[in-house]
Structures are given as structure tokens and as C-alpha cells.
Structure 1
Amino acid sequence: MQQPASGEAAAAAPERDLVIDLARFFCLALVVVGHTMMVSPVLHPDGTVSSQNTLGEQRWFEPVVWVLQVMPLFFVAGGVTGLHSWRRLRSAGGNAIEFVQGRLLRLIRPAAVLLAAMFIGLWAARLSGVDPQVIQLLASGAGMPLWFLAAYLAAQLNLPWLSALHDRAPWLTLAALVSLVVAVDCARGALAWLAYANMVFLWCAVQQLGFFVADRRMPGIGPSGLLGLVAASNLLLGLLVLLRLYSGNMLVNLNPPNLPLFLLAVSQAASLQLLRPVLVRLAARALVRRLLAGAGRHSLTVYLWHLPLLAGISGLILLSGLPQPAGGTAAWWWTRPLVLLGVVGLLLPVLAVFGRLEQRPTSTDPSRARPAVAVVTAAVVVFIPVADAALNGLTVGLLGGGAVCFALAVLLLGRVPARGSSHSGPGGSGLALPHPPLSANVEP
């Protein structure tokens, strides 16, 4: 139960875990549906415009979001997929720079196009006479998914050395990361800006839980032990809330993130393993497998684009002058399925045009690796607009600047060498890059 898995053993492990596929699909669907229940632009009598988080303001929703806050599960799954991908690449002769290069390209290519499209669309709207308040509201709301991209990138780019620490001292590494999270939470009252350090510490700690799942440590605990983990993590979380050390609203705890999200991650990771036998049978169905394969190829595009499209629909409704029911009323709730259908309908052509950007471009020359300085520079360039947005908020100008920075980073990164492409086979060490169609949990 306690024996760490070696890199060689992990590389030989099955490449596709349908349970992780299913978990990520569930998380993505829940996020899309949840956001359609939240965004509600309001036009006030004095002409000002604001955005109302209707669902978040419902008192009954606070205990519900305790259960449905699935962002920690996203990062647990990212730890599973990232660790498998890193070990496969390493076994094929790759290094940490190539891993970082691939992760950056996979994530920022779709994001660069999104930022450029948002900048052009909002700037055109501004030139056509749309109120600047509406433009700013759309920019800030539509750009919300970018915080996840920044946090996920920060965790994944640290994965190679965190994996090395995990192989040597898994529990000590996890304890050190959690200690850093607690230290930041304790100091954030005096230094408010320090809270953003947990965008790295917290999500790296949650990602580390995914390493335990990937190494099959949690299944070895047994059903009673997993139930104990679920109960203990939730009881501790409840105690922290009762002592008023943290908010009971997990939306409040999300940005900047804090310790309750790690406790939720423990509960969700243990629950996932506890339900694994049932989920395996469900995910093995042919229809579900096809659904997961399709979703896996386009999951990042769906995540990045669904909120800008939702903001666009809300803005058009606001500008149309159509009567709008007050947020939270029965009439407002009846409009939500229509809004969801509108978002899904707009996502289909977006996926057709931009979905292919998720498939990481590879070079036919296995030796064509980028210099380390180019990859590190690209990472710095990407985080410049991200840090600005986190500290000062997202504006139309920053969307344009971010698109330029992301495009420059893509040019710096070039194409990823196809490690192991000439040596793969049924008995080989495996590809660093699986052939399409890509699985949701076998990321390039």
C-alpha cells in the first residue's frame, strides 16, 4: 500500500483511465451549467450596468456549493494525467523543458485565439457605440476562465520537480505544500496581496493528491478508510467554518483559494476512489466512451469559450431592450434552460473552427527541441498579462496585450519534438504524444 510507484512501472500503466475521463466530463458539464445559473446582467434606473451572481446570492445555495464546488476535482484529475504524461515522456528520453514546452503549447494556443477574438469583438462593439460600462462588464465577466488557466499552468509547470519529490517522500511533500497554504492563510490578513501565493501552493497541493490517485495509493486504503477520509475532511472543514476561520461559501473561498479547497479536494479524491467500481461500469458503455472521447478532445475549448459566449448572449439581451425578469424570480429561472441551449448552440461552431487548436503540434524530427531559454521566456511572457489581470482586473486593452503575449509565447515555443515516435509499438515504452483521438486524461 505504501510502496511508491517507479517511473518505469507508471510508464507501463494503462494509458486511459475512464474514471478520470468521466470525472472531468462531469466537472466540465457542471461548470457550464452552473455559470448559466449565475450570470445575470442588471440595467439600473440611472443607466449603470452591473453583473449579478444570482445563484451565489441564494442562501440555500451555500451548502449546495459545498458539494458542487468541483474545481478541486479538476486539479486532482490534472495531477493524475500530468504525472502519467510526464513519466511517459521521461521514459521516452524527454526532459522537464520538453514537458513544460508541451504543456504551455497545449494550453495557450486556444487561449491566444480566445483573447484575440474577445479583443476584436469588444473593440468593434465599442466603436459601434456600445456603452463603455457594458464593454467593461463583458470583458471582466468573459475573462473569468483565465484565472483557472493561470492556476492550472502554474501547477503543471511545477509538476516535474514535484513528481521527483513525490517519488522520494510523498507524504512529506504533501505536508510541506499544505503547510505553505496554511502559512499564507495566516499571513493574508496583514499582507492581502500574499493571498495570491496560494494560487500556486494550494493548487499544487491539490495536484499532489492526484499523484496519490495515479500511484494507486488511495485505492489501497480500502472502502472504510476512504469513507473515513471523506468524513474527517468534511468534519474538519465544518469546524473551521463554525470557528469563523473561513467562510462556509466555497465560491468566496475560491479566489484567492485557501485551505477549505484542499479539504474539499481530499473528500472529492476519496469519493472518486470509493465510487470507482460503479464509475468503471458506467464509463465502459460504448455510448459513454464515445461521449468522453469527443469531450476529451475539446474540453479546454469548451471551458475557455463558454463564459465569453454566455456574456455575449447576456450583453445582447441587455442591449436589445427586451424585458428581463429579476434575478432569482420564477420567470428568471424559466429562462435558464433557453440560455443554456443558446450557449451550447454557439459552442458547436466554435468547436468546429477552434477545437483543433487543442491538439498539440508536434515535429516529425524527434531531435527538434527548443532551447531552455526560449521555453522559460515563453512562460514568463504568458504570466505577465495573467498577473496584471489578477492584480488590476481584466480590461479590453489587457485582452489585446494578452493576445500578443500569448502569440509571442507560441512563436517562442515552436513545435514539440515527437519523442519515441520511431520506437513505439505494442511492446515499446509508449509515446509521449498519443495518437488522436486524444483522451481527456491522456493529455499531450
Structure 2
Amino acid sequence: MGVPQQQKPQASGGQDLPAPDRDAVIDLARFFCLALVVVGHTMMVSPVLNPDGTVTTENTLALQDWFEPVIWIFMVMPLFFVAGGITGLQSWRRLRARGGNGFEFAQARLLRLVRPAAALLAVMFAGLWAARLFGVEPQVVELIVTGAGMPLWFLAAYLAAQLNIPLLAALHDRAPWLTLAGLTALVIAVDCFRGTLPLLAYANILFLWCAVQQLGFFLADVPAGKPGASTLAGVIVGSNLLLGLVTGLGLYRGNMLVNLNPPNFCLLLLGAAQAAALQLSRPVLTGAASARWVRAVVGLAGRRAMTVYLWHLPLLAAMSGLLLLTDFPKPAAGTASWWWSRPVVLLGVIALLLPVLAVFGRLEERPTASARSRRRPAAAVVTAVVVVFIPVVDAAVNGLTLALLGGGAACFALAVLLLGRIPAAPGGAPGAARGPLPQAPFSANVEP
């Protein structure tokens, strides 16, 4: 079955508008992806204090012989972008039906992601600078800084894809298959030249994830019950066979974690398989998502999903780094004791996340519009986009440093000031469902 068709309530002017109802299956899929990422990272981060006093990190999970076939299955990052394509296209069409434009869409998307990220960068910069002043080893500080850099690449990639939704949606409406084929061709072209022009490979942060997001557009438009199970199964099998062919011939690495940064064509094939699997399993997932306790858990996590994603890895890196300064038992990475300690590490990260969610989780709540709200000038939105991407691109190419962490916090804060508050539609009264955002009592994570 396809994505459920949404009811259309009457707006204040009598116009039929799509309701911003949640798709429970997409929410469940996002929750699964987020949980898998958090659990996976607890098995990857492994700081090592060497005999000479230096600190290094090991990706213990990636060093296991069985890792490559497992990560082939559980590399869920493409599924994030497929889900983002579904909700993003629906959000853009709702906004457009209300008379909104691409700048308002960009404003809402930026505020949704940049506000919690700005808080993370500011707190980390202040905390780590204080740690340096109090004599904490610079290598430990650098370890924690690296932990902040990993979530930021996703933020950059997701924002780049989402901000292009108005343009890609217009192309999709005119020629969906040609648009997907064009993006795919760009991805392959970049892959062909990445050996001679290494920096060019980072262009696929835009082309690749936009192509995967485009798969979500297809799922958003597919009629209920289409395509059939045999077609979806064929897409899953065909995508994996082609993936096996290009990796078996040595054109790409078989390790999907290596293929993730910068991303390449393998992630598009995984995305196609995961999009088909999501659609094929929708009847089963619909039943699971309708359970009351599942709705409660998914809803609670969904309202703070971005905060969990942004903070869990820096907190894990901080906890691991600080433990190096204590006499707490630290089993060697990859040993049986190390693996048995992973549940304890996960519980530790969750314990650290709880106060963070209580303090900073509200930043994910949408700024509400007032009757006197005005649309931000297009120049302010464009400037905010540039201000956000300057430190993110720098971190992606040159790595995140403590100085760049502070600069990024300042840039993100400036972007929030430039974006202001989400505007109400012209002539809209307070509480009317005419602006680009849904009104209460919808939860904070409802897509605008």
C-alpha cells in the first residue's frame, strides 16, 4: 500500500488544505534508524591510551571480519533521506497550497535543524575551552571535538537535500524519471573523477543525497497498493545484485561505512533497496505502528529526535575521553570484556542524554507565528544558508577543530537571528491554519 492519503480540512478562507497528519510508518522507520545509529556508535567509538601517553581512537566494529556484510544490511542512512523525501515533498506541497514560497520553506527547514545544532556547538565550545584552561590533555579535547564533527556532516547533507526540495519537486512533477536519471548520472560522473580530483567527491554530498531523497518523492506519490509485491521484491534483489557486481569488480569498496563519506553510487543502490523494502513492509509496519505503546515511544522520541542525534555522539566521546583520565577499568577494544561493557556504555549515554533533552530539547519545538509576524526577506534567508554552510563545509574538508567549533556556533547563532520567526500567511489570524507550520495541538516534530 502507498503512503496514506491525508484528509483536507477547511482553511479560514474556505480553501481545502492537506492536513499535516503523521504517517505512523515513517515515524516508526525514523525511530528504528535513530536507535540503530545510537547503538551502532556505542560499538564504534573506542579511545585508546597508548603507552607513550598519546590518545588514539579505534573503530572496533569496523575491524571485525563480519562487519562488512552486516553494515551492508544495517547502513540505514539512505532510509533517513528516503523518509525525508516523503515528508519534505508533502510539506512543500502544503506550504505551496497556502501561498507560501521556497524561501519560507527554507526558513522553516533551517530553523528546525539549526537551532538545536547551534546550542550543541556553543555548549561544546564553552565546555572544551574551559577544559583546556583547567589543564585537560589537548588530545582528549581533540577526541571530543571529533565526536561533534561526525553528526554535523549529516546535518549538512540533510539540509542541502531539503533546501533543494522546491526545485526538485518542480522537476519531479514534470519528469520524475528523467530527474532521477539526471541526478544518478551526476553521482556516477563525480565517482568517475574522484580519483584524480579528490575534492570533487564531496559534490556527491549534494547529488547523491538529493537522488536518494528523490526516491522518497516516488513513494509519496505512489497510489495505495502500488507497485505490487513482486515489483518491489525485484527492486530489492536487483539493487543488491548490482551493488554486489560493482563492489565485486572492485569499482567500489564493499564496506558501506567507507562508501558513506564522501558518499558514492553504492548508497543510491542501498537507498533504492531500502525504499522498496519500506514500501513492501508497510502493511506489517502499519499494524506495529498502531500499537498504543509503540505510538507513545515513537512519539516521545520523535519530538526530540534531532537533539538525540546531535548530542549522543559528542556525549559518548566525552564520556569515553574522560574515562581515560580515571582509574576506571578500560578493557582492550574487541575483547570479550569490551563487548560485555557495551550495554553499560549505552546506558551511560542514555543517562547523559536525559538532562540534555530536558534542557535543550525544547529548541526542536517550532517557533510559533504571531499576528504581526512578517516574512523574512529573501536576502536574509539566503545569507543564513551561506552562514550555516561555511563552517560545515570547512569541517567536512579540513576537519573540525576547537576554533572552528566556536566559529560554527557563532555562525549558527547568526543564522537563527537572520531567520527570525516563522511568518504567518498574509491576512491570517493567530491560530489559523494558514501559515507554513501546523498549529497546536500537533507535536513539535510534525513536518511543516
Q: What is the TM-score of this pair, normalised by structure 2?
A: 0.93
- Please tell me whether residue 191 in structure 1 is matched to residue 164 in structure 2: no
Task: Pick one of 95, 108, 119 that aligns with 2:101.
Answer: 95
Give 1:221 shift.
Answer: 1.4
Partners of 2:360 and 2:321 lie apart in 1 by 23
Task: Pick one of 36, 46, 65 that aligns with 2:42.
Answer: 36
Matched with 1:313 is 319
- Please tell me whether residue 111 in structure 1 is matched to residue 117 in structure 2: yes
Matched with 2:447 is 443
Which deviations, in whole Å up to 9, do the C-alpha atoms of 1:64-113 show, x marking residues without a partner? 00000000000000111111111111111111000001111110000000
Give 1:248 shift.
Answer: 0.6
Overall identity of the aligned pairs, in %: 68
After superposition, where does 1:7-46 map in structure 2 within 5 Å? 12=18, 15-46=21-52
Partners of 2:200 and 2:86 lie apart in 1 by 28
Matched with 2:396 is 390
Residue correspondences, number? 438
Would you say the 8 A contact 1:89–1:431 is kept in 2?
Answer: yes
Partners of 1:78 and 1:95 lie apart in 2 by 19
Which deviations, in whole Å up to 9, do the C-alpha atoms of 1:340-369 show, x marking residues without a partner? 001111111111111110112132137510
Give 1:217 shift.
Answer: 5.4
Partners of 1:216 and 1:439 lie apart in 2 by 27
Q: CA RMSD in A?
A: 2.2
**What code does the residue aligned with 2:186 have?**
L
Give 1:287 shift.
Answer: 1.1
**What code does the residue aligned with 1:443 have?**
E
Partners of 2:368 and 2:329 lie apart in 1 by 51
Q: 3-state SS of the aligned residue for 2:48? A: strand
After superposition, where does 1:252-401 map in structure 2 within 5 Å? 252-365=258-371, 368-401=374-407
Matched with 2:437 is 432
Give 1:434 shift.
Answer: 4.3
Give 1:437 shift.
Answer: 4.2
Partners of 2:435 and 2:375 lie apart in 1 by 19
Partners of 2:430 and 2:199 lie apart in 1 by 49
Partners of 1:316 and 1:135 lie apart in 2 by 9
Would you say the 8 A contact 2:373–2:421 is kept in 1?
Answer: no
Q: 3-state SS of the aligned residue for 1:369? A: coil
Q: 3-state SS of the aligned residue for 1:443? A: coil
Matched with 2:208 is 202
Would you say the 8 A contact 2:145–2:400 is kept in 1?
Answer: yes
Query: For residues 423 and 167 of structure 1, do their structure 2 counterparts lie closer, same or farther at Cα, with a shift above 3 Å needed?
Result: farther
Q: 3-state SS of the aligned residue for 2:47? A: strand
Partners of 1:24 and 1:195 lie apart in 2 by 27
User: Does 71-80 or 213-222 show the bigger shift?
Assistant: 213-222
Partners of 2:371 and 2:354 lie apart in 1 by 34
- Please tell me whether residue 406 in structure 1 is matched to residue 412 in structure 2: yes
Would you say the 8 A contact 2:371–2:429 is kept in 1?
Answer: no
Partners of 1:49 and 1:411 lie apart in 2 by 39
Matched with 1:179 is 185
Q: 3-state SS of the aligned residue for 2:26? A: helix
Partners of 1:19 and 1:422 lie apart in 2 by 33
Partners of 1:429 and 1:370 lie apart in 2 by 17
User: Does 274-283 or 8-17 show the bigger shift?
Assistant: 8-17
Would you say the 8 A contact 2:122–2:406 is kept in 1?
Answer: yes
Partners of 2:425 and 2:225 lie apart in 1 by 32
Give 1:424 shift.
Answer: 8.1
Query: For residues 266 and 13 of structure 1, do their structure 2 counterparts lie closer, same or farther at Cα, with a shift above 3 Å needed?
Result: farther
After superposition, where does 1:224-243 map in structure 2 within 5 Å? 224-243=230-249
**What code does the residue aligned with 2:61 have?**
L
Which deviations, in whole Å up to 9, do the C-alpha atoms of 1:6-33 show, x marking residues without a partner? xx99953772211000000000000000
Partners of 1:167 and 1:270 lie apart in 2 by 21
**What code does the residue aligned with 2:39 have?**
V
Give 1:429 shift.
Answer: 7.7
Give 1:204 shift.
Answer: 0.3
Partners of 1:218 and 1:247 lie apart in 2 by 37
Q: 3-state SS of the aligned residue for 2:324? A: helix
Matched with 1:123 is 129
Give 1:141 shift.
Answer: 2.1
Which deviations, in whole Å up to 9, do the C-alpha atoms of 1:277-306 show, x marking residues without a partner? 000001011111111211111000000000
Q: 3-state SS of the aligned residue for 2:304? A: helix
